[in-house]
Amino acid sequence: MINVILADDHAVVRTGLKRLLDDYDDINVVAEAENGDDAYKLSLEFHPDVLILDMDMPHSSGLATLSRLIAREPSARILMFSSHPEVTFAVQAISAGAKGYILKSSSAEDMVFAIRQLSRGKSYLSPEVAQEIAIHKLSAHQNPIQSLTPREFEIFRLLAEGEEVESIAERLKIGHKTVANYQSSLKQKLNISTPIQLVRLALKHKVISLELALLPLVVLNFE
């Protein structure tokens, strides 16, 4: 029996996924979480064979939760459940310790296959993402975002989305000064100095959508 925890902030998504998995005799959903903090606590309590973790959640994002769990339990089998087909997100998740990355647009068969793969100690990438990664590796075009650590990437993304330093510190459970230091190092590492450059870079590599880029708050966040 493969014991699974579902972590997604949308109850409808969790309910649908649980009903899907209940049809398989070898998969048992032992708990559900609606945010990153609950996912972290439940994982330490139940030690599931596979944790299905939404990439985007309130309070503590999926990537931040992933990093916390891997730091505590390096062998944790975490399947990132994401709406982002972009290479950058998948690469960051795998770099942070995820054993798999599956898109929310994937079929039920792909989800079950991914869970079984991870339970056996193997890895899994959605075919679309795997193909994009292969193309990216063959491309001569350089993506500076790939040089970021998972923590740097998370802070970069949140800044580009218009989050304030205080909000980022609270969300990632790190100090205000730590976020400010990361902010300064990002300027140097990415060779940017203004909020507009930050947003343009995030847009260019599809880290954020155009709607998020238009948030007026972003101008205040990268002084």
Mean pLDDT, all residues of the chain: 87
**8 plus 102 within the same structural domain:** yes
Cα distances (Å, whole numbers) of residue 72 to 31, 66, 81, 125: 19, 10, 21, 24
CATH number for the domain spanning 76: value is: 3.40.50.2300
Residue with tokens 């909020």: 195
**53 plus 84 within the same structural domain:** yes
**61 plus 97 within the same structural domain:** yes
**133 plus 152 within the same structural domain:** no
Mean pLDDT confidence for 100-111: 94
Q: How far is 109 from 162, CA to CA, in rounded Å?
A: 37
Which of these three, 114, 137, 160, is where a domain ends?
137
**36 plus 127 within the same structural domain:** yes
**116 plus 207 within the same structural domain:** no
Q: Is the pLDDT of residue 21 over 80?
A: yes
Output the six-digit token pair for 178. Answer: 């730590």
**6 plus 40 within the same structural domain:** yes
Comparing CA positions, the residue from 165, 166, 167, 156 lying closest to residue 199 is 156
Which of these three, 82, 106, 137, is where a domain ends?
137
pLDDT digits (tens, 9 = 90+) for 194-215: 878 888 888 888 888 765 545 5
Q: What is the pLDDT of residue 128?
A: 83
pTM of the entire predicted model: 0.77
**116 plus 36 within the same structural domain:** yes
pLDDT band at residue 4, thresholds of 50, 70 and 90?
A: very high
Mean pLDDT confidence for 88-98: 90
Please give the residue range of the domain that contains residue 215.
Answer: 144-220
**189 plus 167 within the same structural domain:** yes
Mean pLDDT confidence for 179-207: 88
Q: Is the pLDDT of residue 91 over 60?
A: yes
**153 plus 125 within the same structural domain:** no
Q: How far is 189 from 35, CA to CA, in rounded Å?
A: 31
Comparing CA positions, the residue from 67, 98, 102, 97 lying closest to residue 83 is 102
Q: How far is 99 from 116, CA to CA, in rounded Å?
A: 12
| Beta pairing, strands 27-33 & 50-54 | unpaired
**157 plus 120 within the same structural domain:** no
φ, ψ of residue 28 to 5 degrees: the values are: -130, 120
CATH number for the domain spanning 170: value is: 1.10.10.10
Among the listed ranges 14-23, 74-83, 190-199, 209-218, which one has the minimum average pLDDT value?
209-218
Which of these three, 88, 112, 137, is where a domain ends?
137
Total domains present in the chain: 2
pLDDT digits (tens, 9 = 90+) for 120-167: 999 999 988 887 776 665 454 567 888 888 899 999 988 988 888 998
**113 plus 18 within the same structural domain:** yes
